[in-house]
Structure 1
Amino acid sequence: MALNLFSQFESPMLFGIPLMALALVLPWALYPKATVRWLSNRLLTLQGWFMNRVTNQIFATISLGGHKWAALLTSLMLFLITLNMLGLLPYTFTPTTQLSMNIAFAVPLWLATVIIGMENNPTHALGHLLPEGTPTPLIPVLIVIETISLFIRPFALGVRLTANLTAGHLLIHLISTATLVLTPLMPPVAILVTIVLLMLTLLEIAVAMIQAYVFVLLLSLYLQENV
C-alpha cells in the first residue's frame, strides 16, 4: 500500500501517544546553559555572539518600550530555527509544518502588540486604519480594508511559515524518490538529479533559517507600530 505524499506531515505516534510534545521540548535540551565562570567554551561564546547580533539587528529601529520583548523574540527565533533544522534530518518530524502550531505562535504575539498599542497610544494605533490625506468618499472603504489586513496578519505569519517548509519538504521527497527510481534505469540522469537534490537541500537549510528570522522580524515590525 503506497503512503500518501502528505503522510510525512502527520503528527507521529508511539503506542498511541503523540510525540509532538517531545518534538517541542527537544530543542531546549540541545542548547548549552550559561555558566558562572569568567571564561566559557567556544560553543557558549558562539551562541552568545549569535544571540547578541540577532537581537541588535531586530531591535535596532524599535523604541526602548519594545526592548522588553528582546528575550521573548530572540528565544522564539532560536526555537523556530532549531525545529526547522531538526526537521531536515531523516526519520524526523517538523512541528512547524503544522498550521495550527504556527497560528498558535502568531495569534497571541500579534494580539499582544495590538493591545499594547491600544493601551499606550490608541489614537496612533487607530490612525493606521486610515492613511493621511485619504479622500472623503474612500474613507469607509479604506477603514474596512485596513481592518481586514490587520486581522489577516497573524494568519499570514502562520501560513507563510507552513507553506515554505511544506513546499521544501515535498520537493526534497519528490526528487529523492526520482533519484531512487532513475538509479537502475538511467545512472547519468540519476547523478544529475542527485546534484539537484543536494543543492535543494542546501537551499532548504537556508529557508529553514530565513523563515524563522522573517517570522520574528515581522512580529518586531508589528511591535514597532504600537510602541
Structure 2
Amino acid sequence: MILNLFDQFMSPTLMGVPLIFVALTLPWTLFPKPCKRWLGNRSITLQSWFINNITKQIFTPLKPKGHEWAMLMTSLLLLLISLNLLGLLPYTFTPTTQLSINMALAVPIWLATVILGMRNQPDHSLSHLLPEGTPTLLIPILVVIETISLLIRPLALGVRLTANLTAGHLLIQLIASGAYFLIPLMPTVALLTSSLLVLLTLLEVAVAMIQAYVFVLLLSLYLQENI
C-alpha cells in the first residue's frame, strides 16, 4: 500500500477531536518562566539573551511609537520558531504547514498596521498607492496594481511560510523513504543517502528558524510604513 505523501500534513484527531489546538498551545509550556531571583539559570539566561537580541534587531529601525508592538511581535516569533522546530521531531505535527493557520496569524496583524496608518496618517498611507510624478493616463492602472499588491501581502506571508516548510518536509520524507528501501539492495548508496538526509535535516532546522524570522520581519516592515 502506497501512502500519500501529504498525509503527514493532515491534522491528527483523537476521538473525533482535532489535536491541532494541542499542537498550538504545547510550545508555550516549554519556555521557562522568568523568576524574581537576581541570578537565573542557564535556560532563562539564554532565553532572555535571545529575546533581547531579536527584539533589538527588529525594532531598532522603527520609530519609538512602533516599539509598543515589541511584545506581540516577539511572542509571535517565539511561537513560530517553536512550532517549526517541534514539527521536525518524529510523530509530531507542524501547524505552520497549514495555510489557514498562517493566514490567521498574518491577516489580523497586517490589517492592524493598515488601520493604524489610515487612522494616524491617512495622507501618507494613501500616497503609497500612487507614486509621485505618475502620468495621468496611468493613474487608474497604478492605483489598482498598488491596491492589489497591498491586499496580497498577508497571502504572500502565509504562502511563503507554508511552501517552505511543506517542501522541506516532503523532501525529507522522500529521501528517508529512498534510504529505507535501498538498505537491502545497495547498502553503500543507502548510507550516503542517510548522510544527505542528516545534512538536509540541519538545513531544515535553519529554514524553520529563518522563515519565522522573515515572517515577523516583514510584518515589522509593514508596521514601519504606517507609523
TM interval, shorter chain, is: over 0.9
The whole-number CA distance in structure 1 between the counterparts of 2:46 and 2:177 is 37
Q: Give, in whole Å, the separation in 1 of the partners of 2:181 and 2:138.
A: 58
**Structure 1 residue runs without a partner (length 5+):** none
Partner of 1:127: 127
Structure 1 residue ranges, 4+ long, deviating more than 4 angstroms after superposition: none
Q: Give the alignment of 1:34-45 within 5 angstroms.
A: 34-45=34-45
* Aligned pairs, number: 227
Shifted more, 136-145 versus 113-122: the winner is: 136-145
Q: What's the CA shift for 1:112?
A: 0.1
- Counterpart Cα distance in 2 of 1:188 and 1:96: 36
Q: Residue 192 of structure 1: CA displacement?
A: 1.2
Farther off after superposition, 133-142 or 73-82:
133-142
Tell me the distance in 1 between the aligned counterparts of 2:190 and 2:167: 22
C-alpha RMSD of matched pairs (Å): 0.7
2:221 matched residue in structure 1:
221
Tell me how far apart the structure 2 counterparts of residues 208 and 7 of structure 1 sit (CA, whole Å): 20
Moved more, 130-139 or 146-155: 130-139
Letter of the structure 1 residue corresponding to residue 93 of structure 2:
F
Matched, 1:91 2:94: no
Q: Distance between the aligned counterparts of 1:136 and 1:51, measured in 2? A: 48
**Distance in 2 separating the partners of 1:130 and 1:153:** 17
Once the two structures are superposed, residues 147-201 of structure 1 have per-residue CA deviations (whole angstroms, 9 ceiling, x without a partner) of: 0000000000000000000000000000000000111101111111111111110
Q: Which amino acid aligns with 2:166?
A: T
| Aligned partner letter, 1:61 | P
Aligned-residue identity in percent: 70
Q: CA deviation at 1:137?
A: 1.6
Residue 134 (structure 1) shift: 1.6
Whole-angstrom CA distance in 1 between matches of 2:186 and 2:55:
50
- Where 1:184 maps in the other structure, the secondary structure is coil
Q: How many Å apart are 1:2 and its aligned residue?
A: 2.6
